């Protein structure tokens, strides 16, 4: 396997990913929230860029079973049903529902890799399940959402841990370039560290809006087996499970 890491979604611009499996990571919090939503029985997630697009799509899907979710500056968008805290995505709230979602970086990253052969969503919550799902790929693109064009340590740490899981499986047949080697080194140096996540730029922003509890929640490793897969702009469980 040849694995490339992109530290920000902006780096993906212009990259040719048609023959790649892309894994998108936005630990704090979009990719963790997508995993939480599908684990809670949401039927599908529809990632979109703007709030206007979200409202339009939810209306056309039918507001009786399509929920609007997302954040701006970490807070729920006015008039939406849900924000972007994974803890809000309970079976009571999202079971059997379609969720139209817009977030600052995460949903943009997903749409930026829409041209890849396969697109999977990873977080600490489902790390080993994603590693197993992409272990046979010949070309892997690990795309960190980052924060408005900047490097984010939480996403890169998760990318490094994914590569480390793949290294355990594939040994010397895993080839990584400089960005991937740096992500691996970060993972080897820190592992998942709640203090490091809380002190990341994303962690500090969440603390500012009173959502620090989301950080430790998203820092739990391998608590879900499911792999979200994006196809034709719709995210569902790769195993077809759930409702
Ligand atoms: C994003 O997409 O930028 C995030 O997930 C931000 C957040 O959850 O507050």
Domain assignment present for 21: yes
Query: What is the domain range of residue 149?
Result: 2-232
217/16: higher pLDDT: 217
Nearest to residue 229, comparing CAs of 10, 20, 45, 96?
A: 45
Average pLDDT over residues 117-134: 98
Q: Which atom of ligand 1 is nearest to the CA of 108?
A: 2
Contacts of residues 159-164 at CB distance under 8 Å and 24 or more positions apart, as own/partner, are 159/5, 159/25, 159/183, 160/184, 160/185, 160/186, 160/187, 160/188, 161/124, 161/127, 161/187, 161/191, 161/192, 161/221, 162/23, 162/25, 162/122, 162/127, 162/130, 162/131, 163/3, 163/5, 163/187, 164/188
Nearest to residue 170, comparing CAs of 136, 193, 139, 143?
A: 136
Domain assignment present for 151: yes
Q: Of the ranges 26-30, 33-37, 61-65, 91-95, which one carries the lowest mean pLDDT score?
A: 61-65
Domain assignment present for 242: no
Domain assignment present for 186: yes
Q: Distance between alpha carbon 46 and the CA centroid of its chain, in Å?
A: 13
Give me ligand 1 centre to Cα 181, in Å. 26
Domain assignment present for 14: yes
* Protein residues whose CB sits closer than 6 Å to any atom of ligand 1: 26, 29-30, 71, 74, 84, 103-106, 145
% of the chain residues with pLDDT over 70: 99
DSSP sequence for 161-201: HHHHHHHHHHGGG-EE-HHHHHHHHHHHHH-S-HHHHHTSH
% of the chain residues with pLDDT over 90: 93
Whole-angstrom distance, CA of residue 48 vs CA of residue 156 = 23
Domain assignment present for 187: yes
**169-193 pLDDT per residue, tens:** 998 899 999 999 999 999 999 999 8
How high is the pLDDT of residue 114? 87
How high is the pLDDT of residue 36? 98
Q: For residue 119, give the 3-state DSSP assignment.
A: strand
In this structure, are residues 133 and 230 in contact, taking their beta carbons and an 8 Å threshold? no
The values of phi and psi at residue 102, to 5°, are -135, 125
Domain count, the chain: 1
Residue to substitute in 29, 86, 205 for testing ligand 1 pocket (most ligand atoms within 8 angstroms of CB): 29
In this structure, are residues 208 and 198 in contact, taking their beta carbons and an 8 Å threshold? no
How high is the pLDDT of residue 150? 96
Domain assignment present for 239: no
Give me ligand 1 centre to Cα 32, in Å. 10
Q: How confident is the model at residue 16 (pLDDT cuts 50, 70, 90)?
A: confident
How high is the pLDDT of residue 198? 97
- The β-bridge relationship of strands 66-72 and 44-47 is unpaired
Give me ligand 1 centre to Cα 221, in Å. 19
**66-120 pLDDT per residue, tens:** 999 999 999 999 999 999 999 999 999 999 999 999 999 999 999 999 899 999 9
Domain assignment present for 223: yes
Q: How confident is the model at residue 28 (pLDDT cuts 50, 70, 90)?
A: very high
Q: How confident is the model at residue 242 (pLDDT cuts 50, 70, 90)?
A: low
Average pLDDT, the chain: 96
Q: Has residue 14 got a pLDDT over 80?
A: no
How high is the pLDDT of residue 15? 80
Give the closest residue (by CA) to ligand 1 atom 8: 29
Q: Has residue 130 got a pLDDT over 60?
A: yes
Specify the CATH number for the domain of residue 202.
3.90.1560.10
DSSP class of 14? T
């Amino acid at each position: 396997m040849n694995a490339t890491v992109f530290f920000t979604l902006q780096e993906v611009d212009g990259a040719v990913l048609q023959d790649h499996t892309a894994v998108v990571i936005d630990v704090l919090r979009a990719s963790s929230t997508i995993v939480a939503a599908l684990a809670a029985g949401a039927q599908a997630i529809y990632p979109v860029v703007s709030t206007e697009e979200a409202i339009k799509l939810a209306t056309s899907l039918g507001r009786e079973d399509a929920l609007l979710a997302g954040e701006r500056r970490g807070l729920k968008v006015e008039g939406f049903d849900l924000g972007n805290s994974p803890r809000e995505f309970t079976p009571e709230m999202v079971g059997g529902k379609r969720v139209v979602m817009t977030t600052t970086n995460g949903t943009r990253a997903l749409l930026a890799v829409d041209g890849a052969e396969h697109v999977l969503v990873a977080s600490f919550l489902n790390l080993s399940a994603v590693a197993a799902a992409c272990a046979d790929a010949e070309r892997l693109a690990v795309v960190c959402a980052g924060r408005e064009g900047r490097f984010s340590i939480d996403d890169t740490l998760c990318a490094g841990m994914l590569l480390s899981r793949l290294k355990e499986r594939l040994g010397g047949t895993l080839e990584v370039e400089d960005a991937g080697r740096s992500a691996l080194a970060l993972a080897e140096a820190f592992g998942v560290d709640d203090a490091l996540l809380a002190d990341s730029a994303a962690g500090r922003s969440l603390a500012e809006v009173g959502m620090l509890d989301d950080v430790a929640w998203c820092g739990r490793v391998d608590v879900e087996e499911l792999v979200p897969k994006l196809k034709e702009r719709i995210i569902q469980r790769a195993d077809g499970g759930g409702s």
